Amino acid sequence: MLVRVAPFLVFVGLTSCQGAFGEASRYWFYLIKTFAGAGMVWAIWPRISEMRWRASWDAILVGVVVFLIWVGLDGRYPSADSMFKTILCPLLKPLGFEKWCSVSAKAVPWNPHAQFGFALAWVFAIVRLLGSVVVVPPLEEVFYRSFLYRFIARQDFQAMPLNQFRLGPFLIAAAIFGFSHYEWLPGILCGMLYHGLVLRHNRLGEAMTAHAVTNFLLGLWVISRSAWHFW
H or E, element range at 48: none
pLDDT of residue 78: 86
Please determine, for residue 183, whether its predicted confidence score (pLDDT) is greater than 60: yes
Q: What is the pLDDT of residues 188-222, one digit of tens each?
A: 999 999 999 999 999 999 999 999 999 999 999 99
Q: What is the pLDDT of residues 126-172, one digit of tens each?
A: 999 999 999 999 999 999 999 999 999 999 999 999 999 999 999 99
Q: Which of 150, 122, 227, 139 is nearest to 183 (CA)?
A: 227
Considering the entire predicted model, what is its pTM?
0.91
* Helices and strands counted in the chain (H then E): 11, 0
> What is the secondary structure of 137-175 as a DSSP string?
HHHHHIIIIIIIHHHHH-SSGGGS-TT---HHHHHHHHH
Please determine, for residue 105, whether its predicted confidence score (pLDDT) is greater than 70: no
Degrees, nearest 5: CA angle 207-54-145: 30
